[in-house]
Structure 1
Amino acid sequence: MSEGHALQRLARVPLLQRLATRGKPPLRLVAVARDHVTGNKAAGEQLLGGRFVAGAEAMDLAELDWSALGTSSPLAVELHGFSWLRDLAAATTREKGAALAEGLAARWLATHGEKIDPAWAPALWGERLLFWLAYAPYLLSRRDAAYRKALLNTMARAARHLASVGDEASPGLPRITAWAGLTASCLLLSSGTARLARAEGGLARALASAQHDDGGLMSRSPAEQAMLVDRLGLLRSAYAAARHDFPQGFEDAGAAALAALHGVTMGDGTLSSWQGGNEGSRAELAAIVEGCGFRARPLRVPRGWGYHRLSALGTALVIDAAPPPGAKLARVGSASTLAIELSDGQQKLVVNCGGAGRLAGSLPEGLAEALRTTAAHSTLTLADTNSTAILPDGSLGKGVTDVAVERSEDNDASRLEATHDGYVRGFGLAHSRALSLGNDGKEVRGLDRLIARGRKKLREDVPFAIRFHLGAGVEASPTADGLGALIRSPGAPPWTFRCRGAQLGIEESVVVDGAGQLRSTLQLVLVGEVSSLGGEIGWQFRRSS
């Protein structure tokens, strides 16, 4: 039996008859939102071939058992959210894609449509509603009246459910997603108009509790920031389809979110790697930025978002100048304070090692934890100790609580100096990093200082290491005097590196690419010892031409 016939057979179950009779008929769509974001055509073609892939996980759709799938793995979450409808639409016509989309939706209804279970988690329903409403033509093409009514009535039930439990979603992006989905359903389902004000109020609260006033999420995750822009863009389309004015507060939140996202985007169009995330997909990020409907310039001087940006003539430098995110607002956090990423045009020169991001579970657990350490970021580590402790249960402990930042610009360079207190409690030393980027984009100067502070006094010298993890494909060779290195890459002119106050070594390293896979690379490592009096280490990256 073909997959199409199997899906049709599985869809024809008595349950659909019961689901079709729920609600207050006749239920209909007022309009269909248009998703302006182009999906991944290759992923869509895999779907048409009967295979669903999420990072290192894959599944044969003919063997998909919604009841056994669960909701914990990245693959399960992706499937349950139905965001893959976007990829399917990018790969085929509505006529061809509808058979697959409707078959999977019917099977989902048969398993989860009648009872409230983990698949009804508020964030999952929020995402599901956003994509079901945006791709309704792919889900409502068949002439089976029972199926159509079952789908619409289940969406209406979900909306009533979200109106009661939206605030039970985890704070941050999950709660925003839940309320955004409810708001879209109120605009586009004929039964939802009466709940619109409540939905808009819930979304406004969710944004206020999760988004800094500079637009950045309090989770400080660039990957989540991209999803925030996407969610608000989908909602914007729902307002347009329903011919309602998009509330100014949501417009402002979306534009600010996009500015913060631009602020952590490097010259190659991918993200800088922070808070357990990786660079992501260049094509996916570009599609979100182009299709979201918002417009903004990169956020250079943040407040709560914390990622400062220096840029000049194609050279971009991003520094994490804030404490790690609070445990309640971040699924994972990293001890990355004062780390940097540096790109020259489309070539990333200095990076952080990154993490699995949305594909959590694609990396071995021990490695995933190691990638959250200070040593996995391009900054200073004192005595092989994280600037913010990572506890055995994976949560963040004591460490950085305050980061002081001073910034200035003149005709010669952009300058920033930031100081954190993560090593004061244990070592009596504060870490300060001063950066300057020449206005010609050819030179980055850095000065790392360890400054005596607090009552703690070291009884003996302790070691330090300053690491600069190099981008994938970037090579480094030492200079004859051992105080520098020549840095070559396929995508940029050669750069030279020089240092003083430390011994320079070149060691192996790894980075996690946008697909969640490990790639081998190199790192520059400056090592030495520091006393209770403190010390300073100077360094410089300079483009050779």
Structure 2
Amino acid sequence: MSRVSFADRGRLIWYAMRRGLSHVAGRLAASRLLDLFRLGGRNERIAIAPQSLRTADPTRASEIYAGRFALAGKIVVCDGRSPFEMEAPTPDWAASLLGFGWLRHMRAAESAGARANARALVEEWIALQGGWNRVAWRPEIVSRRIVSWLSQASLILAEADVRFYRRFIRSLARQVRFLRWTAGDAQDGVPRLQAAIALTYAALCMTGQTRHLKRATKRLSAELDRQILADGGHVSRNPGALIELLADLLPLAQAFTSRNVAPPPALLNAVDRMMPMLRFFRHSDKTFALFNGMGPTAQDLLATILAYDDARGRPVANAIHSGYQRIEARDTVVLMDTGAPPPLAVSADAHAGCLSFELSSRQQRIVVNCGLPAAGKGNWRHLARATAAHSTVTFNQTSSCDFYDTRVMRRVFGTLIAGGPSRIAATRDADDHAEQVRVSHDGYADKFGVIHQRTVTLSADGRRLEGEDIFLPARGEALPAKLPDEFAVRFHLHPTIRVARVDDGHGVMLTLPNRDVWAFLAHEDRVDIEESVYLGGRTGPRRTVQLVIHGHARRAPRVEWTFAPLLMMAVIRVMCLPSVPDDRRG
């Protein structure tokens, strides 16, 4: 089902047409023929090479020298051919190859052979695809290649002769000209902001581009103001976007200083807002929560970025603009998605996970969302974005969001979220004993006449998480009698958790890797243990399980549950009222 309005559909079609036209104009602007009419082109040079914060592995240099390109989870062996002549196994592999981010591994090798090989590969690309290539000249990939070439300029140009230096500068200038024409029509969100960052890098680092610095800075400031929210989150609501953007923005601020130019206030303000949000999304094991397209956490890169944070303040608890809540007590952390889907144009990676939560304690993940893998995303994206892949409630086996998926639009934008929760009410209370978040959303109101309300309460000692899911009528005093009302309350578990069922069927024992034993109690409801998959690990998809409470909302409009260490759970059991018989379920 799609709820894209005619106005939104028209805007998408117009944007697709405009992007095609700007692509043609950019290709003309980047034509090699224009080099014949450019004055002073021979005097262009690289003034500074910005720092790269991304982790490098010198052992990868020998693999590249041998023609073995392991990128985006796929390996291509060139067997004497150029990698730019090989058929890409996946679009992600092609994007990684053509973005040249792998040059950092060759620089880390610190050998003459690695430098010569890097120079040869750049020269091959200029010869084979420097004039034009449909994939290589996509604005999103051009921006990554510009930043890679500039940051690795000392590697590429070391011991280079004058002829290669001039070819390299001319090619780089052509790519910058192309991006200047097409940056505004790059895919909205992170790719468009990265295009603005690349143009600013070029204006700072290349002597022939300095005259464009004012315009590039204005474009960058506008994108930062538009995309970085007041609480420091990104407009796409993807936590991983913060890591990717800060890896470029921090060296960019240093590049301004190196050129004796004051960084724009929008850049400094954005960085100051984003830094605390890095800590907001981190669990007790230092990995990011798996919301809205987040995959495996790049721990080394994250640690490097956090080293730039001088304040090191405690993260905020209520990220109201980004739509997330954080509850932290002692060694226990609860993170909860309490926001509406992002704007249509930046929703290609957003998930239907409203009111999902994750739980960790003493550096151990317990409850998770499925997440998205680092490689092979296309195989999992449809399943990973569904509500059922999140630790929340699904109604009648459907998602709380509608996905806009047509073949034509998918090629340009990906699969967008066309509709979902629009009215979300959140309140937060705390006292000396516990902290509580209560949230409701209307994602199922139009389909099934149901409002889902979830309350989570974490004790002050972090040893007990109590939850309550209530199903309220969206209109009138009762749930619609003629609409289906089947629900499933899901709790996906981290794959390192060992599970054992309690005899009465209302609880489950959870053994953590550190040998802590927690228990899950569903009080009046039966708990089923079902298969699941964890996609947020660095080693790829892993099998795991989920705890599921099935029922019918008209018969059981309230579900209560508790996570607690085993000894604490024994006390809770004694205090609970006798269980209602299982036949309360339909």
Fold equivalence (TM over 0.5): yes
2:284 to 267, 272, 293: 267
In the alignment, does 2:363 pair up with 1:373?
no
Equivalents in 2 of 1:24, 1:296: separation in Å? Answer: 48
Provide the secondary structure at the position in 2 that maps to 1:500.
coil
2:399 to 386, 399, 408: 386
Provide the secondary structure at the position in 1 that maps to 2:326.
strand
Equivalents in 2 of 1:97, 1:88: separation in Å? Answer: 5
Q: Which amino acid aligns with 1:410?
A: D
Provide the secondary structure at the position in 1 that maps to 2:168.
helix
Equivalents in 1 of 2:372, 2:51: separation in Å? Answer: 33
2:354 to 313, 324, 337: 337
1:66 to 70, 79, 84: 84
Q: Which amino acid aligns with 1:170?
A: Q
Equivalents in 1 of 2:111, 2:423: separation in Å? Answer: 53
Equivalents in 1 of 2:117, 2:325: separation in Å? Answer: 45
2:583 corresponds in structure 1 to: none
- Determine if contact 1:258/1:294 at 8 Å carries over to the other structure: no
Equivalents in 2 of 1:486, 1:24: separation in Å? Answer: 70
1:197 corresponds in structure 2 to: 214
1:83 corresponds in structure 2 to: 101
1:12 corresponds in structure 2 to: none
Counterparts of 1:273-292 in structure 2, within 5 Å, are 273-290=290-307
2:255 corresponds in structure 1 to: 238
- Over the aligned positions, Cα root-mean-square deviation in angstroms equals 2.8
Equivalents in 2 of 1:241, 1:89: separation in Å? Answer: 22
Counterparts of 1:106-145 in structure 2, within 5 Å, are 106-115=123-132, 117-145=134-162
Provide the secondary structure at the position in 2 that maps to 1:482.
coil
1:412 to 396, 420, 433: 433
Return 5+ residue gaps in structure 2 as ranges.
Answer: 1-30, 407-414, 568-586
Equivalents in 2 of 1:244, 1:293: separation in Å? Answer: 22
2:527 corresponds in structure 1 to: 504
2:201 to 181, 184, 187: 184
1:481 to 504, 513, 532: 504
In the alignment, does 2:485 pair up with 1:462?
yes
1:9 corresponds in structure 2 to: none
Provide the secondary structure at the position in 2 that maps to 1:371.
helix
Equivalents in 2 of 1:460, 1:152: separation in Å? Answer: 65
Normalising by structure 2, report the TM-score: 0.83
Q: 1:227 to 1:493 in 2, by over 3 A?
A: same
Deviations 1:384-418 (A, max 9, x none): 12111335544334331121111122222222111
Deviations 1:110-151 (A, max 9, x none): 123234754233222222222211111111013321111111
Equivalents in 2 of 1:250, 1:294: separation in Å? Answer: 17
Q: Which amino acid aligns with 1:51?
A: R
Q: 1:117 to 1:528 in 2, by over 3 A?
A: closer
Return 5+ residue gaps in structure 1 as ranges.
Answer: 1-14
- Determine if contact 1:485/1:496 at 8 Å carries over to the other structure: yes
Q: 1:143 to 1:106 in 2, by over 3 A?
A: same
2:549 to 526, 531, 535: 526
1:441 shift after superposition: 1.6
1:11 corresponds in structure 2 to: none
Q: 1:48 to 1:284 in 2, by over 3 A?
A: farther
Q: Which amino acid aligns with 2:112?
A: E
Equivalents in 2 of 1:102, 1:19: separation in Å? Answer: 22
1:541 shift after superposition: 0.8
Identity within the alignment, %: 28
In the alignment, does 2:458 pair up with 1:445?
no
Equivalents in 2 of 1:385, 1:475: separation in Å? Answer: 29
2:187 corresponds in structure 1 to: 170
1:423 shift after superposition: 1.2
In the alignment, does 2:248 pair up with 1:226?
no
- Determine if contact 1:36/1:292 at 8 Å carries over to the other structure: no
Equivalents in 2 of 1:65, 1:185: separation in Å? Answer: 26
Q: Which amino acid aligns with 1:309?
A: R
- Determine if contact 2:82/2:124 at 8 Å carries over to the other structure: no
Q: 1:497 to 1:464 in 2, by over 3 A?
A: same
